Structure 1
């Protein structure tokens, strides 16, 4: 099988490529140049798109004896990930750029080009697993599952993948018991990235200053900070810099009547208001979104639900490293509606809710709205 190995320059993607070679596949390595003005060196463990990363990927490919190329996807990345990130914050939502990158770059733009060039699959260093099952139709289908090492599991950020994309995806690290084993294997193979730090944070904001990044693109106009009853408590220097659940940086200047801290409950870009309130008001009992997809067979075809509108039991995860919460989900009037068995704190529109049934990723939705467990006073 012809396999295109996406090589970021890190240890995970290097070992994933090596395992694809060991499996007897015809492997070609590719590094995606996503930044129009890449830095020469990484800043600690921040970022993953520097010139250094490209060179690390090339050295790994040379060590493995496979062809290696650098593909410039910077224009597509800016339009589909960076611009989307800015637009979402400008609309008062909190996006997950890693989800958009997997959805629109690694398993859309990259996979599309790979298939056009005659490759059968794209291999990445994600910690997730693919299981082949027989559906109700008697045909074989692929499901996305959690990795063996739940501490490193990355199935959440892959929840946006469709059945067609899963059919051409390979995750060679999915069954690996631990990251330590991957590093040991890299060292044994003579890969220089064996002890390279993991990348984290937003790759296109390597200094970690999200507020500064947004201020230069969305703008920062002073506006009111209000409570749930609409009473003005203070002034902010730009609503886009705030996200639901935030506590620091409000600078209201005086405590609540009960002396408890306030948290951001809502960002209203049209009125340029930031709504704050007590911690308990962050609790939500329902999530809903109209932009949803299924990672393989949908609930009906999987036998999980009798009909699209029939509620079914599942678990939902709203952050990459959050614990899943028991829930009931169904399709109602074009929305995927998720009712939580236990309230979640600080869930913002724009985040991604990924549904699980056991270890299987069933699908996901971008959260459009939430229902608070503590309604505002009227």
Structure 2
């Protein structure tokens, strides 16, 4: 492997700051996502499309949060653990591999939620598109994202892919021949990856930009449509729903931009900038990569906070669960939760 002779020397930013950040994100993220899952289980209908997507999103968030203790241990003690030890393998497998796979599950589901909400509003505007066959086909495909049956099968398909990728990656790492001998767990092979890891990272980066552009186009299309409505029609209750969906898609776009875009821009640059013999520069680039990865992971912890701040219905449902109420009042809360457009 190129740069295999370089011994990584993590700074205090890696051995102290990252473990503290991951520990904090684990506590807040686990509590927030468990609370969110509890509210959904008590108040939402399992037959609604958005509920299916949101439950799978919360599940992916919890899986990402479950890897944070392993990541904290890896960055805090990985430079002291011997390479090939059980604690190193567990921290690497359950930390790095599972975290990255579940991170892309959250990205996929976020994109799917944006398309689902966009499709919900487009269904009421079919007359303009009835003459174009290609647009009709696009419309039918788009509408599938708001069907509960499609949502269930789509999420099952995603998790099957996740299972296959995770098992394949762990099996390959366990049985692949190690041409280089590393003394510590925190080493070049883990941090930079071999050829197969680079190919997988390139494919994942391409998928991210595809999802990113999809959400961006959806937001632009909805914004243009809303602008036309404002010029020709009085803004009524129906159009307020448009604004709610527009806001939700915008929040998804902001999350993708702030949390995920820097990492995916830097990832290909990272491989290009890796020098042949400059170990200090390699250490610097790896630490930038790890902090940008931490920024991606933080999204799973702050998602419940965003849901609480943006969704009035979720906030009311959460408050109602901690108050004594009659069965009729509880049912009315549940009905309101199910009827309104859900958040991201």
Determine which structure has the larger helix proportion and give its number: 2
Structure with bigger RCO (C-alpha 8 Å, 6+ apart) = 2
User: Considering the TM-score relative to the shorter chain, is it more than 0.5?
Assistant: no
Q: Quickly name the TM-score band, shorter chain normalised.
A: under 0.3
What TM-score comes out, normalization by structure 1 length? Answer: 0.23
